[in-house]
Amino acid sequence: MAPAPGGGPLVIACALGIERFALRSGDRSGATGPLTVLRTGMGPHAAERTVLRTLRDDPVNRGAAVIATGFCAGLASGMHPGDLVVADETRDAEGRIVCTGTGVLVEALAGLVRDRPGCAIHSGPLTGSDHVVRGAERAELRAAGAIAVDMESAATLRSATRVPRDGGRGSHGHRPVAAVRVVVDAPEHELVRIGTLRGGISAFRVLRAVLPAFFEWHRSLLLPWR
């Protein structure tokens, strides 16, 4: 794969092996530079350790843009497995805003949704947790404004924005980050096991199909008006 001239590195971070498998089996032909599909492990602490190590110690990825992705729990009524969540705000488990998102990804994912009847894009706050959230706790998060929850996005993006893009030899600079998640269960479609239920299979297929949109977002970073 020959990267496009001027393309920088991109790290796509996910927690689980099945998520990494979906992403690595997608169409990688649109990458504009070095691509790393990084499995962080489950939970915020694992995500923080892995992302910090990758961005600090790997010379290829010191200046990388970072996308946090994988599966999530949808909190809003009407969500379905396979729907996409583009975070316009990413919060940690304490409700603190880690970063704000980008509308470019909504535009980039619109074509994917058109090709998949029944799949929808939801944009809004994505909140973090240090454990699997169920029942009444989900309702509380929804009441606080979140539309989805996962365990790694906030830690991934917070870690990414803390590491200087020059590897620690100067100012932090601006590292582009974003979070896009695929709903694997929702209030009316609670998941038991990812690999055996129809909802899990739908989410897997959508996650495998999102790479071109990630590459379009990455290319947009090279444009002077972005």
Nearest of 203, 102, 218 to residue 150 by alpha carbon = 203
| CA quadruple 57, 59, 62, 65: dihedral sign | negative
Q: Which two tokens stand for residue 226?
A: 């972005």
Nearest of 210, 190, 182 to residue 82 by alpha carbon = 182
Choose the weakest-confidence range: 16-20, 29-33, 208-212, 219-223.
Answer: 219-223
Nearest of 63, 68, 6 to residue 33 by alpha carbon = 6
pLDDT in tens, 48-74: 999 999 999 999 999 999 999 999 999
pLDDT in tens, 116-168: 877 899 999 999 999 988 888 889 999 999 999 999 999 999 999 999 886 54
Tally Cβ neighbours within 10 Å of residue 68.
33
- Name the percent of the chain lying above pLDDT 90: 63
What H or E segment, with its residue span, contains residue 72? strand 71-74
What is the DSSP pairing of strand 148-150 with strand 71-74?
Answer: antiparallel
Nearest of 139, 157, 160 to residue 63 by alpha carbon = 160
Task: Write down the residue that tokens 């269960």 correspond to.
Answer: 185
Please give the backbone phi and psi of residue 97, each rounded to the nearest 5 degrees, phi first: -75, 120
Tally Cβ neighbours within 10 Å of residue 103.
10
In sequence order, which residues have a C-beta less than 8 Å from that of residue 154 and are 6 or more positions away? Answer: 44, 90, 91, 92, 93, 98, 126, 127, 128
State the maximum Cα–Cα separation within the chain, in Å, rounded to a whole number: 50
218 in Cβ contact with 102 (< 8 Å): no
pTM score, two decimals?
A: 0.89
Q: Which CATH number fits domain 10-220: 2.40.128.50, 3.40.50.1580, 3.65.10.10, 3.40.50.2000?
A: 3.40.50.1580
